[in-house]
Structure 1
């Protein structure tokens, strides 16, 4: 859901032509599967594209990403454990991994930094997740713009 929201916001507010957005999980249980039908329904009802096929994020991908977003602290820990050690030339891959809600300045996001997995919930749980995702977008977009400015013309991947 977060990838769909980010893609649309990049298309609306820019810089979509400078960013590649990918979606991947930390486990391969659903690799190749389409998005959950409730997620699709929630996205479509809010005007987002809902095309998606699940895949697992692999350690070899870190060098190709300027930013890796985790939706909850469990995924954050798994991604940090998966990240290779820094080679000393930059702060290292673990510094590129951020929680999505860290981009949301609201006190609620600070108190509850996770976007909960709605899989075991009902349609309302998916709608609540979408609201959390949307609230983080302005801050995430600002960070992406900063990364692009720092890269001085090199397309990044989020």
Structure 2
């Protein structure tokens, strides 16, 4: 949305939308899989897409924000996941080459680019790799409000995560 006053929501895929990493002991029956009832390009070539709960699409669309893909899936998120979730084509953050400086400082390689992309706007970022270092760095460098919300990759985004996001985004909409 050009000129939008809504906060941004930077959305990672692997971990938040596609849960992974649980052991057989933690999930004896494995991860649940879902169907959408329609042909989705890429769903048959990437079996992990069926782990994405299509009900998350309407829940994401109901949040008072501008959704932005912040994932290594890049444009594949729009080609495969957006139709699976019933989302429109979303803006995609293009990642620069990771810098050695970030690795030395313990900063996530996405953090600086998300700050540039936000350009002072309030934003929430959901990812399974956010650290305290990212939060401290963002507080020191971002003039607006930011919620860096870590999702547990083993579970993916939960009802509690949606509640937290909805509450924060409503408090920070322009």
Task: Write 1 or 2 for the structure with the bigger share of helix.
Answer: 1
Structure-1-length-normalised TM-score:
0.38
Larger strand percent: 2
| TM-score (structure 2 length as normaliser) | 0.36
Q: Return the index of the structure with the highest Cα Rg.
A: 2
